[in-house]
Amino acid sequence: MTETQTDFRLALSRFASGVCVVTATDPGGRAYGVTISSFCSLSLDPPLVLFCIGKKTSGLEACAGGAAFAVNVLSEQQLHLSDVFARKEHDKFADVAFTIGGNGCRILEGCLATLECSRVETYEGGDHLIVVGRVDQMAYADGGLPLLRFTGRYRRIGGEL
């Protein structure tokens, strides 16, 4: 990594984010999930969200080429799920409780929110692809606190200002 790339990472790590697991199904019907922090809302009308997926990610086809995906917003109790879905080459769903959503994607149990989406567009973005989806179904918890990522570490919310 060049010095500029290190600075880029360090500067961007100062932007705090939530942590999600995006689930999708590849053309062969195999379920896939990946830890994502590059998730955000895009439009209210129509209801659109986006996330960015690295081009070297094994589930690129499932996430960026499939008809549907689901976004599972992790709570502070679900740090282990972030680790599980950020690790390569293992059965990520082996010890994970989930149901199947209306769009066929896996919905992880106990999340703060889940958004079931139809993929509407995929755009080029350097070494990532930008995936835009329309939210068809959503559910959210009344309570609970989010898992956060800041300066390369997991954090919890410190309180209201």
Ligand X SMILES: Cc1cc2nc3c(=O)[nH]c(=O)nc-3n(C[C@H](O)[C@H](O)[C@H](O)COP(=O)(O)O)c2cc1C
Under the rule (CB under 6 A), what is the footprint of ligand X?
Answer: 19, 34-38, 52-54, 57-59, 82, 86-88, 149
Min separation Cβ 89 and ligand X, Å: 6
Q: What is the CA radius of gyration of the chain?
A: 15
Secondary structure (3-state) at 27: coil
Of 19 and 68, CB closest to ligand X: 19
Contact (Cβ atoms closer than 8 angstroms) between residue 24 and residue 68: yes
Of 58 and 102, CB closest to ligand X: 58
Q: How far is CA 135 from CA 51, 69, 116, in A?
A: 13, 10, 6
100 CA to centre of own chain: 17
Contact (Cβ atoms closer than 8 angstroms) between residue 81 and residue 74: yes
Of 21 and 142, CB closest to ligand X: 21
Of 87 and 156, CB closest to ligand X: 87
Min separation Cβ 110 and ligand X, Å: 18
Min separation Cβ 112 and ligand X, Å: 15
